[in-house]
Amino acid sequence: EIVLTQSPGTLSLSPGERATLSCRAGPRISSSYLAWYQQKPGQPPRLLIYGTSNRATGIPDRFSGSESGTDFTLTISRLEPEDSAVYYCQQCGSSPFTFGPGTKVEIK
Partner 1 sequence: EVQLLESGGGLVQPGGSLRLSCAASGFVFSSYVMTWVRQAPGKGLEWVAAISESGDSTYFADSVKGRLTISRDNSKNTLSLQMNSLRIEDTAVYFCAKGRGSGWYVPIDYWGQGTLVTVSS
- What is the C-alpha to C-alpha distance for residues 99 and 79, in angstroms, rounded to an integer? 24
Per the CB < 8 A criterion, the answer to whether 88 and 6 are in contact is yes
**Whose Cβ is closer to partner 1: residue 20's or residue 99's?**
99
Minimal distance, residue 33 CB to partner 1, in Å: 6
Residues between 2 and 31 with contacts to partner 1, criterion CB under 8 A: none
Q: Which is nearer to partner 1, 100 or 107 (CB)?
A: 100
Q: Based on CB atoms, which residue is closest to partner 1, 17 or 55?
A: 55
Spatial CA neighbour of 39 closest among 91, 108, 96, 99: 99
